[in-house]
Amino acid sequence: MAAPARPAMAAGGAQALTVTVSGQAMALPAGAVQEVLRPRPLTRVPHAPPGLLGLINLRGAVLPVLSLARLAGLEASVPSHTPSQAARIVVVDGRSRVGLLVDSVSALGGAGDARPVELDALLAQGSGALARRGDAPRGASPAMAAAPVPEAAGAAAQEMALIAFVLAGQEYALPLDRVLAVARLPAEVTVVPRTGQAMLGVTGFRGGLLPLVSPHALLGLPAGEGGRDRARILVLRLGPALVGLAVDRIAAILRLPEGAIDPVPPVLTRGTGEARVEAIGRLEGGRRLVSILSPARLFDDETASRILADAKEAGEMAGSTGEAAEQFVVFRLGDEHYGLPIGAVEEVARRPESLTRVPRAPAFVEGVMNLRGSVVPVIDQRRRFAAGGTAEERARRIVVVTIEGLRAGFAVDAVTEILSLPAASMAAAPDLAAGDAAVIDRIATVERDGRMILLVDPRALLSGAERDLLAAIAAKAAAKAAPAP
């Protein structure tokens, strides 16, 4: 419901929008009111200032929504109940543009007996840095652009980065640098007539058409596990075009040392599917094997030519748009989704059944895990991000990152996708929190479904003191685990 463009002047008084908050009438200056909206789903922000309920996407712009009752001191805490049918979000533009959640909108005119609201003072008091306008430039963030992840000398040359996925109950992998993006399998796929068994159809992608191919058919495997909600598309480059592989689900992001990658035994290269396997990766001491596929072998010349011809017949192939884009590993905590730059992520591992507890460690440190002979501290991101949920819903994945030379694991509920985001879809986050809590660097809006993803600055995840503490914990645990001389 948009506010009237030219509100009437109340007799003998200034223009005001009267709202009801916790049973009390309050008057907002009408000149600052831009529009009035019905409540909508919010993206919650961890460690937010008092009164901030979350963020909404308002016609492509990120809008913070605050509780007017909390800011005005009428409620001791941010309300957790669902807003009533009469509740509204009043979009105001004072020193900052925000939405104020109120119980109802009563009248437009004079303030009458309603309590007048000094808008700028209220925002400055209740949300601190949020009320400062224009401090952070919109667009790319210098902190993110200048956040290289240190690597141990020679580590890049000795490890292979892979994205592992499941096909018909078996784990496969592709080199991570060959995967341009990971996307959800769309609910509807346009079938192309008179195509081969491997061709599933086409779907929209980056303004063009992306041919979808069944790796099950290419490898001679039975149909997938089902469960469309977990199915994903791996986008690869095939000659001058892009192609999407429809896999049952994503398993993990792995970085395997060269010593854990073996050539395929000759006896396994006789079948059509096995011939497309380039190597075998050994994990967990050889108890878990991953078949590493060769992108070059996955599509023979005949198959590649047929797929490209089918896609051309269906429409223009999707290709590079020339627009700068960044890739992010998207993970979930509770109901919210967060993104880490893919360059900051070493790998995504399954959470061990148990972690080694560290005596007198801070509450956010769950323990340490052994990752191929290296001791990695594991941090409870649910606690750090104040995520909801019960103990039964606790993290199932460990995102391993390196922050200023320190290797650490972040326990998250799930890793959902690898997302390629154009620069135009990202905006600098409002100054939602100060100091070490300001970990949200940018906010991305996903065009296809309107989701908002909070993009995390890797360097801000841990303070300097916490990094020193975790380094000491890892060193102590490693010394304890080392065999006696």
Q: What is the pLDDT of residues 246-284, one digit of tens each?
A: 999 888 888 888 888 888 765 444 444 445 788 888 888
Rg value, the chain, Cα: 26
Q: Rounded mean pLDDT of 362-376? A: 82
What strands lie across the sheet with 52-58, from one edge to the other?
A: 33-37, 88-93, 97-102, 61-67, 52-58
Copy the structure tokens of residue 410: 């972040």
pLDDT, tens digit, 9 for 90 and up, residues 385-425: 777 665 445 667 889 888 777 788 888 888 888 887 888 88
Q: What does the pLDDT read at residue 160?
A: 86
Phi–psi pair at 344, nearest 5 degrees: -85, -15
Residue predicted with more confidence, 74 or 188: 74
Quote the pTM value. 0.60
Residue 138 to residue 122: CA distance in whole angstroms: 24
Q: What does the pLDDT read at residue 423?
A: 81
Place of tokens 């893919």: 342
Q: How many CB atoms lie within 10 A of CB 447?
A: 13
Query: Of 135, 108, 86, nearest to 33 (Cα)?
Result: 108
The domains of the chain, with CATH numbers, are 16-131 (2.40.50.180), 155-314 (2.40.50.180), 325-481 (2.40.50.180)
Tell me the one-letter amino acid at 182: V
Q: What does the pLDDT read at residue 173?
A: 92
- Give the count of alpha carbons within 13 A of 466, CB side only: 18
User: Cα separations (Å) of 135 from 95, 202, 439, 459?
Assistant: 12, 44, 17, 20
- pLDDT of 434 > 70? The answer is no
Copy the structure tokens of residue 35: 């529009």
DSSP 27-75: EEEGGGEEEEE-----B--TTPPTTEEEEEEETTEEEEEEEHHHHTTSS
What strands lie across the sheet with 104-109, from one edge to the other?
A: 104-109, 16-21, 24-29, 115-116
pLDDT, tens digit, 9 for 90 and up, residues 46-84: 766 777 888 887 776 778 888 898 888 887 665 666 788
DSSP 247-291: ESEEEEEEEEEGGGEEEPPGGGSSSTTGGGEEEEEEEGGGTEEEE
pLDDT, tens digit, 9 for 90 and up, residues 1-17: 444 333 333 334 567 88
Under a CB-based contact definition with an 8 Å cutoff, are residues 241 and 319 in contact?
yes
